[in-house]
Amino acid sequence: MSPSEIDLSVVIPVYNESANIGPLCERLGPVLQRVSAAWEILFVDDGSEDGTLAAIAARNAGDSRIGAISFSRNFGKEIAIAAGLDHARGRAVVIMDADLQHPPETIASFVERWREGYVMVYAQRTSREDESPVKRGFARLFYRLFDSFTNMALPEGAGDFRLIDRRAVEVLRALPERARFSKGLYAWIGFKSVGVPYEVAPREHGTTKWSFRKLFRFAFDGITAFSTVPLRVWTYLGGLISLFSIACAIFFIVRTLLFGTDVAGYPSLIVSIMFLGGVQLMSLGMIGEYIGRIFAEVKRRPLYVVAERIGNAAEVTQELVPGERRAARA
Ligand code: UDP
Ligand code: MG
């Protein structure tokens, strides 16, 4: 099948999801059959170590529309999505998780809105009840920070579960950055978008791949990729501290002129030295975070390394966007 003949590609990043591949294909197949004449499922195996690829190969033997590309190691979900967009051939691409938390039936509403002319259709979770209060609190804090730091509002409760028209896919593929924060990129590219409500189901098999630490790094990546406020805030803080110290100096000069000098003041000296030292280290650290990211970008390494291909994906030799991002072949 040539690229233009495929109507709908479903890109599914998978990392150690062997138990989910079967049930997912069973549920997804009939839905796709209903909404599209020509579809493909493209798994992106993000360096699984548990036979996920074998499970996909078994599915591929029964239905050649199911294929996969497999990374040489774990590169992370964001990179897996980027690879999926590179290799998907459909006129629209649906991105979803493998653990059946994203109900495949929602895709029917996606396609409906897409045919109405929307370029991007995202699923919007109706509640975060399934998550712990702490995680929910941090999520809310993150969205508020992101909003005020970047002047770019992310739609509430929208994640990677979405349909993207070919036009927007090409734009996303042309964004060369390595520290990828897809949610921000979706918002950044614009286009006519609409949300479709959905209920998050509990995870079918296996465990979540996100530790708290990983989520924190992810949130940090998101903010630093779209905002320089964390860099600039030190200018203001430094200015405030300078003003305060000038006020202090004037106070001490006046006091010394009026009442003479004494040796007291050791505690205040230590406190102010430590405070300033802390502020300086923090601001240096913040600058370091950005320099680290600049370093990662200028190295121009490929985003991912494909080690193996299954099914249709094997035929794809798509030329990537001029000069920029390139996938490496192992
Ligand atoms: N995933 C991935 N690479 C990773 C971590 C996760 O491809 O390094 C995939 C995972 O297999 C799943 C999706 O990303 O299909 C969402 O992961 P998970 O369900 O663990 O996240 P949660 O739903 O808990 O946010
Ligand atoms: Mg999940």
97, 199, 203, best to mutate for ligand 1 pocket (most atoms within 8 Å of CB) = 97
d(CA 159, CA 231): 27
State the residue range of the domain holding 295.
229-299
Same domain for 183 and 244?
no
Domain-embedded: residue 215 = no
Same domain for 176 and 191?
yes
d(CA 329, CA 140): 40
Domain-embedded: residue 222 = no
Q: Hunting for tokens 């406020």 — which residue is that?
A: 229
d(CA 314, CA 206): 28
- DSSP letter string over 114-138? HHTT-SEEEEEES--TTS-HHHHHH
For residue 28, the model assigns a pLDDT of: 92
For residue 315, the model assigns a pLDDT of: 52
Same domain for 97 and 110?
yes
pLDDT tens over the chain, length 330 residues: 454 588 899 999 999 998 999 999 999 999 998 988 899 999 999 999 999 999 999 988 888 889 999 999 999 899 999 999 999 999 999 999 998 889 999 999 999 999 999 999 999 888 777 777 888 888 888 888 888 888 788 887 888 899 999 999 999 999 888 888 888 889 888 888 999 988 887 777 777 777 788 888 888 888 888 887 888 788 788 788 878 888 888 888 888 888 877 767 777 787 788 788 878 888 888 888 888 888 878 877 788 888 888 886 655 444 444 445 556 655
Classify residue 173 by burial, with Cβ atoms within 10 Å: 0-12, 13-18, 19+.
Answer: middle
Domain-embedded: residue 216 = no
Instruction: Identify which of 231, 246, 326, 243 has the alpha carbon closest to the alpha carbon of residue 284.
Output: 231
Residue 171 belongs to domain with CATH number = 3.90.550.10
Take atom 11 of ligand 1 and give the residue whose Cα is closest.
Answer: 14
Same domain for 204 and 239?
no
d(CA 177, CA 199): 32
Same domain for 295 and 306?
no
- DSSP letter string over 22-59? HHHHHHHHHHHHHH-SSEEEEEEE-S-SSSHHHHHHHH
CB 46 near ligand 1, within 6 Å: yes
